[in-house]
């Protein structure tokens, strides 16, 4: 293999996340609704019968399908399906910072977009109920923050004899901030809170 062949492989190549082909890809939408007292953020409470995260608070979204043009199209499609609205009602969609979760083996592409103030009839297969929070309240509220630490635990057959230090090798530990927002009886945390904070920080910045 010579220089020309190597350069040909990288010509017009767009870099991505290392290992992206092994990650599940999801897209979500942070919905903004103009109401009488200003903009509100719309949240979903997941249906109780769902296998993953039943009853928890989230934004509309889901897995990116092969039939989706791109991540934004997936976010719009999923939102339309869950809220039972026409996707064309979702306007001025903008991308937020995407999230790579190594422990969850997924990458999430969040977007923010504007929806009309209308009566929604959410899909009961996925959504228990909807609620909104004034954007002004969220912008003025500092979330509680707690630290999570992830430690490395190699498999029993890990070849310690091949690395310097062997079983005493000092692995780097991964730390992550976990945010909590509170509104009435609702607790917004996890990935939803992280996406929300990123959006608010961007707007305030």
Q: Which helix (H) or strand (E) holds 186?
A: strand 186-189
Confidence (pLDDT) at 103: 65
For residue 188, being part of any structural domain is answered with yes
- 112: in domain: yes
Domain assignment of residue 58, yes or no: yes
* pTM score, whole prediction: 0.88
Beta strands at 57-58 and 38-46: parallel, antiparallel or unpaired: antiparallel
So what's the pLDDT on residue 161? 94
Six-digit token string for 45: 């409470």
Position 4 in a domain: no
Of 181, 203, 19, which Cα lies nearest the Cα of 107? Answer: 19
Residues in the chain: 205
Instruction: Write down the residue that tokens 């969040």 correspond to.
Output: 110
pLDDT at 102: 60
Angle at 121 between CA 37 and CA 33, to 5 degrees: 25
The continuous run of DSSP H or E covering 180 comes out as strand 174-183
Residue 85 in domain:
yes
Residue 170's domain comprises 19-204
For the chain (205 residues), the mean pLDDT of every run of 10, in chain order, is 89 85 92 94 94 93 95 97 94 94 82 92 94 96 93 92 93 89 96 96 90
Strand ranges in 37-152 using DSSP code E only, listed in sequence order:
38-46, 57-58, 61-63, 91-95, 99-101, 106-115, 127-134, 144-150
* CATH number of the domain bearing residue 119: 3.90.79.10
Does 91 fall in a domain? yes
Domain annotation covers residue 120: yes
Contact 114, 42 (CB under 8 A): no
Number of domains making up the chain = 1
């Amino acid at each position: 293999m010579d220089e020309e062949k190597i350069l040909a492989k990288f010509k017009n190549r767009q870099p991505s996340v290392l290992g992206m082909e092994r990650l599940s890809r999801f897209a979500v939408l942070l919905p903004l609704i103009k109401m009488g007292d200003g903009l509100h953020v719309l949240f979903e409470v997941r249906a109780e019968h769902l296998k993953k995260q039943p009853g928890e608070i989230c934004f509309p979204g889901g897995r990116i399908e092969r039939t989706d043009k791109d991540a934004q199209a997936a976010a719009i499609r999923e939102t339309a399906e869950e809220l039972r609205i026409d996707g064309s009602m979702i306007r001025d969609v903008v991308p937020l910072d995407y999230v790579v979760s190594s422990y969850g083996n997924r990458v999430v592409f969040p977007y923010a977009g504007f929806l009309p103030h209308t009566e929604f009839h959410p899909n009961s297969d996925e959504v228990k109920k909807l609620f909104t929070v004034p954007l002004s309240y969220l912008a003025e509220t500092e979330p509680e923050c707690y630290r999570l630490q992830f430690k490395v635990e190699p498999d029993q057959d890990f070849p310690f004899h091949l690395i310097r230090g062997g079983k005493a090798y000092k692995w780097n530990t991964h730390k992550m901030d976990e945010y909590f927002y509170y509104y009435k009886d609702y607790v917004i945390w996890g990935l939803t809170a992280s996406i929300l904070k990123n959006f608010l920080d961007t707007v305030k910045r």
